[in-house]
Amino acid sequence: MKKTIVFILIFVFMVSVFTGCSHTHEYKETVIKEPSCGEDGLKEFVCKKCGDGYSEAIPAKGDHEYDENTVKEATCSAEGEKILTCRKCGHTETEVIPVDKNAHVLGSHTYTKAVSVDLPEDEWYYDQYGYLIKTRTLMVAFDCESIIKIPTATEEGEGIKTCELCGETVAVILPPIQ
Ligand SMILES: [Zn+2]
Ligand SMILES: [Zn+2]
Ligand SMILES: [Zn+2]
C-alpha cells in the first residue's frame, strides 16, 4: 500500500513537471554566419523562454560566378595576369595567364620601297616615246622590316618583323596597295 502511494506521488510530480512548466517554445532566429559560394551558412534558434536551442545550415549560394578582368596580357616572354571577381559574393582571385608563344611584340616599322602597280585598262596611256604604259610606280611605306612578297593592288603581300621581346622573326600580312 505504501509503495502504491509513493508511485502515485511520483506520477503526480511527473505530470506537474510536464504540464506546469511545459510551454510552446518561442524561438528567436539569429544568423551566425552568412552563406557564401560553396560554403554553407549557419543560423541558430534559441527559445526565449527556456533557452532550448538548435542550429540549422543556410544552404550555400552555389559555386562562384566569376567576371574576368585582364590586368596584364601574356606575351611570348612573360606571363599575364587576370583578376576574377565573383559577382555573387565579391570574392576575388588572381590568376596567371600562361606565356603565349605567339603573342610577339612587333612594334611599328617603316620600310619604303618603289612598287609598280597595274593600272586599270581605261587608265592605260602612251608616253612621249609611244610606249603603252600599263603601270605606275609608287613609293610605298610598308609596316615591316623587310619584304618577302610585295602586295599588289588586289593581293596581300608578306613582310617580316622582329619581335622586340624574344628576337624571333615573324611573317606579317601586308595589305593590298591602295
Ligand atoms: Zn522553450
Ligand atoms: Zn562567390
Ligand atoms: Zn616574341
Max Cα–Cα distance, the chain, nearest Å: 151
Domain contains 84:
yes
- Tell me if 15 is assigned to some domain: no
Distances (CA, A) of 19 to 13, 24, 39, 161, 168: 10, 11, 42, 93, 90
**Res. 9: pLDDT tops 50:** yes
- pLDDT confidence of residue 18: 54
User: What is the per-residue pLDDT for 159?
Assistant: 96
Average pLDDT over residues 135-157: 92
Q: How far does the centroid of ligand 1 lie from the alpha carbon of residue 32, in Å?
A: 20
For the chain, give the percent of residues with pLDDT over 90. 71
pLDDT at 11 over 70: no
Query: What is the pLDDT, as a whole number, of residue 8?
Result: 57
Q: How far is the CA of 114 from the centre of ligand 3 (A)?
A: 30
Is the overall model pTM greater than 0.85, yes or no? no
Q: How far is the CA of 80 from the centre of ligand 3 (A)?
A: 14
Q: Can you give the C-alpha Rg of the chain in angstroms?
A: 42
pLDDT at 143: 94
Residue 9 included in any domain: no
**Distance from the alpha carbon of residue 62 to the mean position of ligand 1, in angstroms:** 34
- Minimum-distance ligand to the CA of 91? 2
Q: Report how many domains make up the chain.
A: 3
Query: What band does 163 get if pLDDT is binned at 50, 70 and 90?
Result: very high
User: Whose atoms come closest to the Cα of 85: which ligand?
Assistant: 2
What pLDDT score was predicted for residue 178?
A: 78
Output the CA 10–ligand 1 centroid distance in Å.
24
Q: Could you tell me if 141 and 152 lie in one domain? A: yes
Same-domain status, 71 and 85 = yes
Distance CA(37)–CA(48), nearest Å, equals: 32
75: containing domain? 66-97
Sequence-ordered list of residues with C-beta below 8 angstroms from that of 160, at least 6 positions apart, any chain: 144, 145, 146, 147, 148, 169, 170, 171, 172
Q: Is residue 132 part of a domain?
A: yes
- pLDDT tens digits, 68-122: 999 999 999 999 999 999 998 889 999 999 999 999 999 999 999 998 888 889 9
pLDDT of 20: 46
Question: Do 93 and 117 fall within a single domain?
Answer: no
